[in-house]
Amino acid sequence: MRILEGIRIALQQIWAHKLKSVFTLIGVIIGITFLIAVITIVEGMNRYVQDDFAGAIFGINTFSVVRRNQVQTGSESQEHRRRQARNPYLTMRDVEVVRRAVPDAWRFSYSVDRGFSQVSYNERSRKNIRVIGGSDGYEAMQGWEVAEGRGMSPLDERKSLKVAVIGADIAERLFPNGSPIGKRIRLGSTRLEVVGVWERQGGLLGVIRDASVLVPISTFRETMAWQRNRIEEITVKARSIEEMQASMLEAEAALRRDRKLRPGEDNNFWLQTSSDLLGAWEKINKILFVALPGLVSISLVVGGIVIMNIMLLSVAGRIREIGIRKALGARRQDILFQFLAESSTLSLAGAAIGIGLGIGLGKTVDALTPLPASVPMWSIVVSLVLGLVVGVGSGIYPAYRAAKQDPIVALRYE
């Protein structure tokens, strides 16, 4: 009840001096806005990386054999990196070794690719595309579906046909009015017949699918690769995470045997899973979550000091009121509670504004970028608790000053 009185007075004060209140609360508002916005964006990134990113690149329950580790998380030693650089390139022999090691794999594919190529049709061209030479099953492995025409067939690979399936961006660029199916595009000196266009992936990672051209791996190796024997990636998809882990061990053992590595010797190839990527992200994530409390607490401390000053001014301006309240029977703790309730209400109002602005910022990011920004409930709870802590913390000294006023002196105060 006495706390209600304090809250009522605080709301009255905020309302009576709206502009002053905004300035008073700016520290808290900035701190909480920042907190909510960063948590929202980081959580959004998290979900994005886990659900879309990792899935889009690797898919779940998938592992790849590659020549060397490509995801740098910063924790590898120089030595490890140097050793990795000496790894031999993968070859068709490795493909067969892995294929035999995982006979029960759900999906199996291998590929070569080349970035930063240019594709053209008559006068129109598109730069910075990726040309992939994929084995049969590559599209199924990636989960890419054609929107028009057909996908790669085993026959295309077997006969090294000069055919291509292209991404939606490329189709749009080269064939703005009309279907690309049956048209012959040019990749360097090679002419390829377009047999299909994939569904648009869109979004931040859309470039991977939407700006790619897929040709049969046999065609790629015969006409485009300058190191014909090289394979860049062998990918295995299992039906479950357990199966994937078992298959990965099988593949590793088979490759080690085939390459005649001694026990204790490091692999001269690299097994890559989506967790490598997630690991890199988690690292960034961790840094953010370490830096965040520091930044937020600085602005909250500043915000608390401002509130404390305003509360001291407020106490000084209301000595007479304190005297009246004491004469009417308010005890020290009543006055203490009143001013604590007031500073807490102020600070919580700031936190509430900050939460609103933070959510708004998150929504803006959500609308303008492909990041799914979601405000986690716990961040709102944390913000309100922080607001309360700042309010009580900054109110203690002013409230104590108010509570110890002598009623006789306070009543005569002009």
Partner 1 sequence: MSVDNDIVIQTHDLKKHYVMGSETVRALRGVDVSIERNEYIAIMGPSGSGKSTLMNLIGCLDTPTSGEYVLNGQPVQDLDDDDLARIRNREIGFVFQTFNLLPRASALHNVELPLIYAGVSSRERIERAKGALEQVDLADRMHHKPNELSGGQRQRVAIARALVNQPSIILADEPTGNLDSVTSEEIMTVFDALHDDGQTIIMVTHEPHITAHAERVITLRDGMIESHDAPRTVRAETV
What pairing do the DSSP bridges indicate for beta strands 190-198 and 163-166?
Answer: parallel
If binding is defined by CB under 8 A, does position 316 make contact with partner 1?
A: no
Nearest by Cα to 347 from 398, 389, 316, 292: 389
If binding is defined by CB under 8 A, does position 408 make contact with partner 1?
A: yes
Q: What is the distance between the alpha carbons of residues 89 and 141, in angstroms, rounded to a whole number?
A: 22
Q: Tell me the per-residue interface mask from 332 to 351 with partner 1, x by CB under 8 A, - otherwise.
A: xxx-----------------
- Buried b / exposed e over 192-209, threshold 16 CB at 10 Å, is bebbbbbeebebebbebb
Cβ distance to partner 1 smaller for residue 33 or 338? 338
Taking CB under 8 A as the criterion, the residue among 289, 331, 360, 385 binding partner 1 is 331
Q: Tell me the per-residue interface mask from 265 to 294 with partner 1, x by CB under 8 A, - otherwise.
A: ------------------------------
User: Closest distance between partner 1 and the C-beta of residue 406, in Å?
Assistant: 8
Nearest by Cα to 347 from 38, 13, 40, 2: 13
Q: What is the distance between the alpha carbons of residues 276 and 150, in angstroms, rounded to a whole number?
A: 33
If binding is defined by CB under 8 A, does position 2 make contact with partner 1?
A: yes
DSSP state of 90: B
Cα torsion 245, 206, 166, 171 to 10°: value is: 170
Cβ distance to partner 1 smaller for residue 12 or 364? 12
If binding is defined by CB under 8 A, does position 328 make contact with partner 1?
A: yes
Q: What is the distance between the alpha carbons of residues 113 and 90, in angstroms, rounded to a whole number?
A: 13
User: Closest distance between partner 1 and the C-beta of residue 281, in Å?
Assistant: 54
If binding is defined by CB under 8 A, does position 325 make contact with partner 1?
A: yes
If binding is defined by CB under 8 A, does position 1 make contact with partner 1?
A: yes
Cβ distance to partner 1 smaller for residue 328 or 377? 328
If binding is defined by CB under 8 A, does position 114 make contact with partner 1?
A: no
If binding is defined by CB under 8 A, does position 387 make contact with partner 1?
A: no
Cβ distance to partner 1 smaller for residue 200 or 332? 332
Angle between helices 92-101 and 241-258 (to 10 degrees): 130
User: Closest distance between partner 1 and the C-beta of residue 16, in Å?
Assistant: 8
Distances (CA, A) of 371 to 36, 296, 374, 411: 15, 23, 9, 60
Beta-bridge mates of residue 165: 196, 214
Q: What is the distance between the alpha carbons of residues 182 and 297, in angstroms, rounded to a whole number?
A: 63
Which range in 157-165, 282-290, 319-327, 357-365 contacts partner 1 by CB under 8 A?
A: 319-327
User: Closest distance between partner 1 and the C-beta of residue 366, in Å?
Assistant: 43
Q: Tell me the per-residue interface mask from 4 to 33 with partner 1, x by CB under 8 A, - otherwise.
A: -x------x---x-----------------
Cβ distance to partner 1 smaller for residue 12 or 240? 12
User: Closest distance between partner 1 and the C-beta of residue 407, in Å?
Assistant: 5
DSSP state of 112: E
If binding is defined by CB under 8 A, does position 411 make contact with partner 1?
A: yes
Cβ distance to partner 1 smaller for residue 328 or 368? 328
Taking CB under 8 A as the criterion, the residue among 320, 374, 388, 397 binding partner 1 is 320
If binding is defined by CB under 8 A, does position 407 make contact with partner 1?
A: yes
Percent helix, strand, coil in the chain, to 5, is: 60, 15, 25
Beta-bridge mates of residue 216: 134
Determine how many CB atoms are found less than 10 A away from the CB of residue 381.
10
Cβ distance to partner 1 smaller for residue 5 or 232? 5
Give residue 59's region: left, alpha or beta (phi > 0; psi -120 to 50): left
Q: 356 Cβ partners below 8 Å, 6+ apart?
A: none
**Contacts with partner 1, residue ranges (CB under 8 A):** 1-2, 5, 12, 16, 320-321, 323-334, 407-408, 411
